[in-house]
Amino acid sequence: MSFDTLQKKIWDLANPTVAGLDPRPEHVPPAILEKHLAAKGNTLAAAADAFYEFNCGLIDAFCDLVPAVKPQSAYYELLGWEGVRCLKQTADYAKAKGLYVIADVKRNDIGTTATAYSEAYLGTVTVGGTALAPFDFDAATVNAYLGSDGIVPFVETCVKYDKGIFALVKTSNKSSGELQDMTVSDGRTVYACVGELLEKFSGDTVSPLGYSCVGAVVGATYPAQLTELREKLSHTFFLVPGYGAQGGGAADVAGAFDEKGGGAVINSSRAIMCAWKQTGNGGADYQQAARDEVLRMRDALRSAVKGL
């Protein structure tokens, strides 16, 4: 679904939060993990089953409050193909609960290989004359280092299936500046060049609400750059990681939004998923703890973002 769909969900709930689903065995409440290990032993399949139960419990806890979830693929791939099956099951469950689902996969390649990635996560593959959707996410993250050959195939798939991508522009980590902040010969930064390249490739896909199908990942930990890019990239929907555990707060991300309180979604993962570790109840209240954290974040964002 396009970013218009995501934006409408955000306005309906007055909440621009995307809840990250980034499970590791140590993030899962012990009772859930132990139950599945008892059933299937110390196996990747058992851990994947535990992740799925935990994810469903989290989704149940906050699906009436947040517009979107974002599973980070690395944590599923860490359980091999059984983890990837859990990723697909999680996406299906979240969509059935009405959530917009972003695959945080940061895929990147060229030509027919980029097409294959885009079809895997956002489109279909034809097997013996039948079109099958391998994952069917609403949007996916990508890395634009390879240039337009790596982005155009994703744009084509987005147009065909009414989906979106978020390309890395200025990431939330400390060392993101090593390459992204370098100044090129015309005085622009590398991240600004990437942002402008993305607007160029997607200019003719602008939706009724004003967004192209190519969004940008811009970290909450760099508020000045967020504001700079918001001004330059008027048609670009922003996915903003780095809120919460990485150090970004509501005031830091306010610059990501336009005057209508639109155009951005803010991710928090560990602060929500691991909220149960703060309550001293050993995980028994993980759903209530996650819901309470979602409400805290929502209210902080409502206070900081004008027009929401």
With respect to a copy of itself, which residue has the nearer C-beta, 64 or 81?
81
Rg value, the chain, Cα:
19
Using the contact rule CB under 8 A, the part of the chain among 10-18, 75-83, 208-216, 286-294 near a copy of itself is 75-83
With respect to a copy of itself, which residue has the nearer C-beta, 22 or 228?
22
Is 275 within 8 Å of 286 (Cβ atoms)? yes
Which of 64, 92, 178, 231 forms a contact with a copy of itself (CB under 8 A)? 178
Using the contact rule CB under 8 A, the part of the chain among 4-12, 73-81, 258-266, 288-296 near a copy of itself is 73-81
Using the contact rule CB under 8 A, the part of the chain among 6-14, 61-69, 171-179, 254-262 near a copy of itself is 171-179
- Footprint (CB under 8 A) of a copy of itself, residues 83-122: 83-85, 87-88, 106-114, 116-117, 119-121
Using the contact rule CB under 8 A, the part of the chain among 179-187, 222-230, 247-255, 260-268 near a copy of itself is 179-187
Q: What does the alpha-carbon distance between residue 31 and residue 272 come to, in Å, rounded to a whole number?
A: 18
Indicate if the alpha-carbon torsion angle 19, 24, 29, 31 is positive or negative: positive
| Closest of 171, 160, 224 to residue 194, by C-alpha | 171
First and final CA of the chain: distance in angstroms?
Answer: 21
- Footprint (CB under 8 A) of a copy of itself, residues 197-216: 197
With respect to a copy of itself, which residue has the nearer C-beta, 175 or 280?
175
Contact between 227 and a copy of itself by CB under 8 A: the answer reads no
Paired strand residues for 264: 238
- SS3 per residue for 36-69: HHHHHCCCHHHHHHHHHHHHHHHHHHHCCCCCEE
Contact between 159 and a copy of itself by CB under 8 A: the answer reads no
Which of 6, 32, 140, 144 forms a contact with a copy of itself (CB under 8 A)? 144
With respect to a copy of itself, which residue has the nearer C-beta, 49 or 228?
49
Contact between 53 and a copy of itself by CB under 8 A: the answer reads no
With respect to a copy of itself, which residue has the nearer C-beta, 7 or 90?
90
| Closest of 43, 9, 53, 32 to residue 237, by C-alpha | 9
Residue type, 239: L
- Footprint (CB under 8 A) of a copy of itself, residues 256-285: none
| Closest of 58, 67, 60 to residue 4, by C-alpha | 67
- Footprint (CB under 8 A) of a copy of itself, residues 10-39: 22, 24-25, 33, 37
Which of 128, 208, 224, 280 forms a contact with a copy of itself (CB under 8 A)? 128
- In the complex, what is the shortest distance from the CB of residue 111 to a copy of itself, in angstroms, rounded to a whole number? 7
Out of 106, 163, 174, 260, the active site residue is: 106
Is 50 within 8 Å of 25 (Cβ atoms)? yes
- In the complex, what is the shortest distance from the CB of residue 79 to a copy of itself, in angstroms, rounded to a whole number? 6
User: CA-CA distances (angstroms) from residue 64 to 58, 193, 298?
Assistant: 11, 38, 12
Told to judge if 35 belongs to the known catalytic residues of this protein, a careful annotator would answer no
User: CA-CA distances (angstroms) from residue 183 to 187, 216, 297, 303?
Assistant: 6, 20, 35, 35
Residue type, 303: S
3-class secondary-structure state, position 302: helix
With respect to a copy of itself, which residue has the nearer C-beta, 190 or 254?
190
With respect to a copy of itself, which residue has the nearer C-beta, 42 or 208?
42
Number of residues that bind a copy of itself (CB under 8 A): 75
Residue type, 188: R
Catalytic residues: 106
